[in-house]
């Protein structure tokens, strides 16, 4: 089978012929149909994650079909449609795992970071950690929901979203366009904050009532002019500077939720926190129940990622386009 492999930090992504994996006890082999390309894949390739291992097959937005099940596996069944997200495995017995927060388990392993992921034709996965893909979602559209979709849907939830709240989405890339759709489907009023004025039309099309050009406008003033400020700011881009700038644009009891990890510091003053009881928090993608919720919600509310289909062998090109900011939508590798 074909696998796209990164042999060492900062090494290129190269095609390798590998033997098809065999499912061991508790494992399944997934025939990968589609795998989304995430910014974290690029970070991994560049050696940013201290817990990463090389050589590695990148990819944690996997959608495919169960091809083989190992000894002792009673679910899923061969032929079932399943996905694999960022969370590959966890200890299963710590307090966090037991309460359904395995995404924060200290023993967790990560798909495409320290376990081989979806940039290949077949991958191994622990049976207990695959997500069933509901009927009606196609593989190419389901793939980006495993990370991009899960991260924003769950981020909005954990930020304490209430129906009718004002949600400001920072950045209108892959995550941002999904965030606008989820927020609208949840009944929110939505604003988009972006440095690219040409995104205004897209924001409007997706249902945002307000577009703030952060290069031209004072973000705090613009947000406060929006009925007193945003109840939730969803920071989809990992750059901390715009978060620092926008934070005082939160309404009383508002929350800024950080979804991406980048270098630098987010700063705020005790005054901006205390006076209006504002909150600053982060959210890592999500656990298994969050992913199931994300997939079902996306299907029944017709939330769809914008995708650009590419061949498995074009993974390096997908990274190049993503790096240059030239992708309109999420690159999804399609295996024939
Ligand atoms: Zn990701
Ligand atoms: Zn655990």
How high is the pLDDT of residue 321?
A: 94
Burial 217-233 (b: 16+ CB within 10 A, else e): eebbebbbebeebbbbb
Q: What are the tens digits of pLDDT across the range 249-260?
A: 999 999 999 998
How high is the pLDDT of residue 238?
A: 85
Query: How many angstroms does the Cα of residue 98 sit away from the middle of ligand 2?
Result: 7
132 pairs with which residues across the strands? Answer: 82
Query: How many angstroms does the Cα of residue 43 sit away from the middle of ligand 1?
Result: 10
The Cα–Cα gap between 56 and 291 comes to: 24
Give the DSSP letter string of 84-103.
Answer: E-SEEE--SSSHHHHTT-GG
How high is the pLDDT of residue 263?
A: 87
Query: How many angstroms does the Cα of residue 146 sit away from the middle of ligand 1?
Result: 8
Query: How many angstroms does the Cα of residue 230 sit away from the middle of ligand 1?
Result: 26
Q: What are the tens digits of pLDDT across the range 85-109?
A: 999 999 999 999 999 999 999 999 9
Beta 87-89 vs 307-311: how paired, if at all?
unpaired
Picking from 305, 236, 301, the residue whose alpha carbon sits closest to that of residue 61 is 305
Low-confidence ranges of the chain (pLDDT < 50): none
Q: What are the tens digits of pLDDT across the range 29-58?
A: 999 999 999 999 999 999 999 999 999 999
Give the single-character DSSP code of 247: G
How high is the pLDDT of residue 324?
A: 87
Q: Which ligand is nearest to the CA of 112?
A: 1
At 122, give phi and psi (nearest 5°): -135, 140
Query: How many angstroms does the Cα of residue 150 sit away from the middle of ligand 1?
Result: 9
Q: Which ligand is nearest to the CA of 111?
A: 1
Q: Which ligand is nearest to the CA of 261?
A: 1
Query: How many angstroms does the Cα of residue 84 sit away from the middle of ligand 2?
Result: 18
Query: How many angstroms does the Cα of residue 236 sit away from the middle of ligand 1?
Result: 11
The Cα–Cα gap between 171 and 234 comes to: 9
Q: Which ligand is nearest to the CA of 60?
A: 1
Query: How many angstroms does the Cα of residue 129 sit away from the middle of ligand 2?
Result: 13
Query: How many angstroms does the Cα of residue 101 sit away from the middle of ligand 2?
Result: 8
Query: How many angstroms does the Cα of residue 193 sit away from the middle of ligand 2?
Result: 37
- The two structure tokens encoding residue 61: 């937005």
How high is the pLDDT of residue 247?
A: 98
Q: What are the tens digits of pLDDT across the range 132-158?
A: 999 999 999 999 999 999 999 999 999
How high is the pLDDT of residue 75?
A: 98
Query: How many angstroms does the Cα of residue 48 sit away from the middle of ligand 1?
Result: 14
**Ion ligand 2: residues, CB < 5 A:** 90-91, 94, 97, 105
How high is the pLDDT of residue 325?
A: 80
């Amino acid at each position: 089978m074909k696998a796209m492999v990164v042999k060492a930090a900062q090494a290129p992504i190269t095609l390798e012929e590998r033997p098809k994996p065999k499912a061991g006890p508790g494992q399944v082999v997934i025939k990968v149909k589609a795998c989304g390309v995430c910014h974290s894949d690029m970070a991994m390739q560049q050696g940013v994650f201290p817990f990463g291992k090389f050589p590695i097959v990148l990819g944690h937005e996997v959608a495919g079909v169960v091809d083989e099940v190992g000894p002792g596996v009673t679910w899923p069944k061969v032929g079932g449609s399943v996905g694999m997200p960022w969370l590959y495995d966890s200890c299963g017995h710590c307090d966090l795992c037991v309460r359904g927060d395995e995404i924060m388990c200290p023993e967790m392993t990560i798909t495409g970071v320290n376990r081989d992921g979806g940039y290949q034709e077949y991958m191994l996965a622990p049976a207990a950690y695959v997500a069933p893909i509901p009927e009606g979602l196609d593989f190419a559209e389901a793939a980006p929901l495993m990370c991009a979709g899960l991260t924003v849907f769950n981020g909005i939830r954990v930020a304490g979203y209430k129906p009718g709240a004002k949600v400001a989405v920072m950045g209108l890339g892959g995550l941002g366009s999904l965030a606008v759709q989820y927020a609208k489907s949840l009944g929110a009023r939505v604003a988009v904050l972006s440095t690219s004025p040409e995104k205004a039309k897209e924001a409007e099309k997706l249902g945002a009532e307000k577009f703030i050009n952060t290069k031209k406008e004072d973000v705090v003033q613009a947000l406060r002019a929006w009925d007193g400020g945003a109840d939730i700011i969803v920071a989809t881009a990992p750059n901390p500077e715009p978060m620092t700038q926008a934070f005082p644009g939160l309404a009383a009891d508002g929350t800024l939720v950080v979804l991406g990890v980048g270098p630098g510091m987010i700063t705020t003053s005790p005054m901006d926190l205390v006076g209006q009881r504002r909150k600053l928090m982060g959210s890592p993608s999500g656990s298994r129940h969050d992913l199931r919720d994300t997939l079902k919600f996306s299907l029944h509310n017709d939330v769809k990622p914008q995708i650009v289909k590419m061949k498995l062998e074009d993974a390096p090109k997908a990274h190049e386009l993503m790096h240059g900011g030239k992708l309109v939508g999420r690159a999804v590798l399609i295996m024939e």
